[in-house]
Amino acid sequence: MTNTTAANAGMAQPAADPISSSLRTRVLSARVLLPVVLVLLYFGGLGFALLLALAAVLMAAEWDRLTGGVPVAAMGGANISLPGLALALSLLLVLFLGYRGHAGWALAMLVPLALILALLSRLLRRHLVWPVLGLFWLGLPCLALLWLRCGDSGLLAVSWLFLAVWCCDTGAYFAGRGIGGPKLAPRISPKKTWSGLLGGMLLAAIASALLAMASGQSGMALFALLGALLALVSQAGDLAESAVKRHFDVKDSGALIPGHGGILDRVDGILFAAPALGVITLASMSMPNLKVLPWQ
């Protein structure tokens, strides 16, 4: 009788909620973190620089753990090795120079810092590729974000970057689940589909056009086109991190953000899209007559 009652109760349960528990957790995490990021982005200056510094330290710790560092200390809730600690300090130095208005020197410092990381890794008999790669993987986007925010139309530029990447993630998630179809890179990330990529690019393009309209920019079509391009680059960053995690047989870079894994899992697209927008901005500054960016 008890078994029959349990079976009937199970049959009488309502259909599964279409919004998965994982998505619910992601939304709740975003509701907590997003306002902080947006407020610091809006005011810029020291607050935004400190946000980037905190993110850089946390990312360095996650990168070190992900790539097999031998821990000697704890940082950001994760153990960190000597090369990982050196990586974190290198990122802070780069950001300090960038904040003081020496972005060129900060960029140039990446080379000697990479040599120091390589030497330290060799002395500790650790594979030198991963700390050095981490310096550029994390340092370039951190510096690009700081430089973009401090420049002309900095708030619009970084807001647009975040909007394009976040919309790409959202569009790819829903298009991939709703449409499915051929896999994008099954050996690297089995869940990603071509429909997800196109859906993410489309949503990023639409959001970019709406941002252009809301901010009074005249180049809506150009905004949409570049937004789709940034979305494409961000997906390349997502796949690149997935390839690193698959190489080390790790599911998530960390567990810092509920529903998202580590901070690297959350910003993997931004880590590639930020330097891309930095390059586009530099190109527009050197060729102002071409009007590469809509706000020129």
Confidence of residue 5 (pLDDT cuts 50, 70, 90): very low
pLDDT greater than 60 at residue 68: yes
CB atoms within 10 A of CB 291: 12
From the number of C-beta atoms within 10 Å of its C-beta (0-12, 13-18, 19+), residue 56 rates as: buried
Mean pLDDT of 4-31: 51
Convert the pLDDT of each residue in 108-141 to its tens digit: 999 999 999 999 999 988 888 999 999 999 999 9
β-pairing, 78-80 vs 183-185, is unpaired
CA torsion 129-130-135-139 (nearest 10°) is: 130
pLDDT of 27 reads 64
Q: Domain limits of the chain?
A: 45-150, 152-296
Mean pLDDT of 244-251: 89
Distance in angstroms (rounded) separating the CA atoms of residues 192 and 177 = 9
Confidence of residue 18 (pLDDT cuts 50, 70, 90): very low
Residues 6+ apart with CB under 8 A from 263: 55, 58, 59, 62, 253, 254, 256, 257
pLDDT of 3 reads 46
Convert the pLDDT of each residue in 50-62 to its tens digit: 999 999 999 999 9
Confidence of residue 234 (pLDDT cuts 50, 70, 90): very high
Judged by average pLDDT, the poorest of 26-30, 75-79, 242-246 is 75-79
pTM score of the predicted model: 0.86
- 221-227, long-range: CB < 8 A, 24+ apart: 222/294, 223/160, 223/294, 226/280, 226/293, 226/294, 227/160, 227/163, 227/164, 227/167
Distance in angstroms (rounded) separating the CA atoms of residues 97 and 139 = 12
pLDDT of 296 reads 63
pLDDT of 184 reads 92
